[in-house]
């Protein structure tokens, strides 16, 4: 039956293509020499297939890049056309992690190696966007634009003294000096360990920024440091400093790129915008055909763990923080396991951890899938604490160089509001039966007996965490302990410490997972087993986390990324 439908679809596609041939021949006389692409927002690796929705709101601009894979395929086609001179790359409001930035830079580098030009243009661009522009042959800025090149900064916070002033005391038990998460609430000042952790990441990101600018603008590292130290830049200052090659309004871009249009500057033709990829495809006499394959392509399963891990169904983060609910993630993993078409699974993790119990439930689900088919965990931003625990169930863990990995540790505690209640004239009397019955009461701190019990539970959970890591990484608990106690690593340092297996890109991970499943090289489909999106109030989030009491969470790792890598870090 599939053979019949595929044959009919390909026949209709061929007829449609032949019918449009005369129109494409006419259009080919004026096919563009430069093709326009627009990078904006969060760029996915691959565009997920979604059902068509009518009246679903505004569509993105025609030139907007929808995924890294689609961008790469377009550049390969353009590189084969001798009529095409290059592309115009516009950057607007780009929010990418370091790994995706590196992927874009590689695509541009390969395109230039094929003899084509890349012209970058922006109105306002930050550190990350400028790193991408530095991979272009020519960098242009709008006359009223700005270059926010200032390096990286972090603001570590300690609110212990502030809480005490309003009558709230934080009581936490942690395992390891490097598990600094509770310090936000317990310390009056940022600790030296937290400062050193943040400085290590800033040093790596700053070095990467300097290297990108030095290579792209042909400057020495010392010159780049001096340039960054006097930023940010107006468009005029950026041009004077040699950071851009020219100032050009959007309306003047066609004339600047095209000699013919420059000569016809006063004509109406000079006002025509630079066409997007769709126009170039429509002007080819014989465009690339997307024939329906007789045999279905191999399928790779993709399961995403994004946000704070907590019990329950989770939320998409549209109305608050992203929550990776253990119930929803486990269901997605089960679906991936049952799907016979999915020969392998990539577990994409972007999480600072959360509930220790929920993280372990996800770990067990990953291990069950891994017993049936290859599972590779991949992190390009954050895979810390409980997030790293979940990754341990995979056959291999891959990481991007500047990702945040590790924070193997556990903490638990509560907030005591007795001082605040006294100031408000509120009197509470705790009446209990059982030595530890009031252990999580907010009306008083821990008794020595309660603290001893909590410390024992934290230690037990920490030892279990070490055992999981030791078994997955093929090391002893003692060896893992020297890398644990809350220590946080970049992807590069995690690889050297043996906490990840390989460094690579998302596409490399996908191909490797299929290789492990003995799937022949070639194109493949990615099936996303999505967790349900539902809004959660802040109260629901706090209640879902408060029920666990034991946390494998690394807030400092999450805030280092800030959701907008390449911009500002807040620790």
- Distance between CA atoms of residues 253 and 30, nearest Å: 18
* One-letter-per-residue 3-state SS of 404-444: EEECCCCEEEEEECHHHHHHCCCCCCCCCCCCCCCCCCCCC
Closest C-alpha among 533, 530, 510, 534 to residue 522? 510
User: By the 8 A CB rule, do 183 and 458 touch?
Assistant: no
Look at residue 553 and give its three-state secondary structure. strand
Closest C-alpha among 518, 551, 519, 491 to residue 357? 551
Supply the pLDDT for residue 248: 94
Supply the pLDDT for residue 569: 26
DSSP state of 323: E
Q: How does pLDDT run along the chain (571 residues), one tens digit per residue?
A: 556 666 666 566 566 556 555 655 555 566 778 999 999 988 899 876 543 443 344 566 788 999 999 999 999 999 998 889 999 999 998 988 889 999 999 999 999 999 999 999 999 999 999 999 999 999 999 999 999 999 998 888 889 999 999 999 999 988 888 888 888 889 999 899 988 988 999 999 999 999 999 999 999 999 999 999 998 999 999 999 999 999 999 999 998 887 555 555 554 544 567 888 888 887 666 666 565 665 678 899 999 999 899 888 776 655 456 888 999 999 999 999 999 999 999 999 999 998 889 999 999 999 999 999 999 999 999 999 999 999 999 999 999 999 999 999 998 888 999 899 888 899 888 888 888 888 888 889 999 999 999 999 999 999 999 999 999 999 999 999 999 999 999 999 999 999 999 999 999 999 999 999 999 998 898 999 876 555 544 444 444 444 445 777 776 665 555 434 333 222 2
Supply the pLDDT for residue 568: 28
Domains, the chain, ranges and CATH? 31-49+59-150+231-282 (3.90.226.10), 299-313+321-413+475-561 (3.90.226.10)
Q: In this predicted model, what pLDDT tens digit does every residue of 68-95 receive, in sequence order?
A: 999 999 999 999 988 899 999 999 989 8
Supply the pLDDT for residue 89: 96
User: Looking at the whole model, is its pTM more than 0.75?
Assistant: yes
User: By the 8 A CB rule, do 183 and 197 touch?
Assistant: no
Supply the pLDDT for residue 61: 77
- Distance between CA atoms of residues 452 and 472, nearest Å: 30
Supply the pLDDT for residue 52: 42
Supply the pLDDT for residue 452: 94
Active site includes 179? yes
Q: Which of 385, 490, 505, 559 is catalytic?
A: 385
Q: Which of 85, 100, 116, 179 is catalytic?
A: 179
């Amino acid at each position: 039956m599939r053979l019949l439908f595929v044959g009919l679809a390909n026949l209709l596609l061929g007829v449609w293509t032949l019918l449009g041939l005369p129109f494409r021949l006419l259009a080919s006389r004026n096919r563009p020499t430069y093709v326009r692409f627009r990078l904006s927002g969060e760029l996915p690796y691959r565009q997920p297939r979604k059902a068509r929705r009518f009246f679903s709101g505004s569509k993105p601009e025609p030139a907007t890049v929808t995924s890294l894979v689609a961008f790469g395929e377009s550049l390969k086609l353009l590189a084969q056309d001798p009529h095409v001179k290059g592309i115009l790359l516009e950057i607007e409001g780009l929010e990418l992690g370091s790994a995706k930035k590196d992927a874009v830079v590689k695509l541009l580098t390969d395109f230039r190696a094929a003899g084509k030009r890349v012209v970058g243009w922006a109105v306002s661009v930050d550190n990350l966007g400028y790193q991408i522009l530095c991979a272009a042959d020519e960098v242009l800025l709008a006359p009223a634009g700005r270059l926010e090149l200032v390096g990286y900064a972090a603001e570590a916070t300690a609110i212990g003294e502030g809480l005490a002033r309003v009558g709230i005391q934080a009581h936490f038990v942690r395992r390891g000096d490097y598990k600094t998460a509770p310090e936000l609430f317990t310390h009056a000042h940022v600790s030296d360990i937290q400062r050193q952790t943040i400085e290590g990441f800033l040093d790596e990101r700053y070095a990467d920024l300097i290297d990108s600018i030095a290579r792209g603008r042909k400057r020495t590292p010392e010159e780049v440091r001096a340039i960054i130290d006097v930023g940010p830049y107006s468009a005029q200052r950026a041009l004077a400093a040699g950071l851009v090659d020219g100032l050009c309004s959007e309306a003047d871009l066609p004339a600047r790129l095209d000699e013919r249009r420059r000569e016809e500057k006063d004509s109406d033709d000079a006002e025509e915008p630079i066409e997007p990829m769709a126009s170039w495809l429509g002007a080819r006499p014989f465009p690339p055909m997307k024939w329906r394959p007789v045999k279905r392509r191999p399928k790779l399963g993709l399961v995403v763990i994004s946000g704070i891990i907590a019990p329950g169904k989770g939320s998409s983060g549209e109305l608050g923080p992203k929550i990776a609910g253990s119930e929803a993630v486990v269901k997605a993993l089960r679906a991936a396991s049952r799907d016979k078409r999915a020969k392998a699974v990539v577990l994409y993790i972007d999480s600072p951890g959360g509930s220790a119990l929920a993280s372990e439930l996800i770990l067990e689900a990953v291990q069950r899938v891994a017993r049936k088919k290859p599972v590779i965990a991949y992190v390009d931003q954050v895979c810390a604490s409980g997030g790293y625990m979940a990754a341990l169930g995979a056959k291999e863990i891959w990481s991007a160089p500047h990702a945040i990995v590790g924070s193997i540790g556990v903490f638990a505690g509560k907030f005591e509001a007795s001082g605040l209640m006294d100031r408000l004239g509120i009197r509470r009397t705790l009446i209990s039966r059982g030595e530890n019955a009031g252990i999580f009461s907010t009306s008083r701190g821990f008794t020595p007996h309660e603290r001893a019990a909590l410390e024992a539970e934290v230690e037990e959970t920490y030892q279990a965490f070490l055992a999981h890591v030791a078994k997955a990484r093929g090391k002893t608990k003692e060896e893992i302990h020297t890398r644990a106690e809350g220590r946080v690593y970049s992807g590069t340092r995690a690889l050297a410490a043996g906490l990840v297996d390989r460094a690579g890109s998302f596409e490399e991970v996908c191909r490797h997972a299929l290789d492990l499943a003995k799937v022949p090289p070639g194109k493949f489909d990615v099936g996303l087993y999505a967790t349900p999106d539902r809004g959660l109030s802040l109260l629901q989030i706090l209640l879902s986390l408060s029920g666990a009491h034991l946390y494998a969470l690394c807030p400092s790792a999450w805030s280092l990324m800030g959701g907008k890598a390449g911009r500002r870090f807040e620790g």
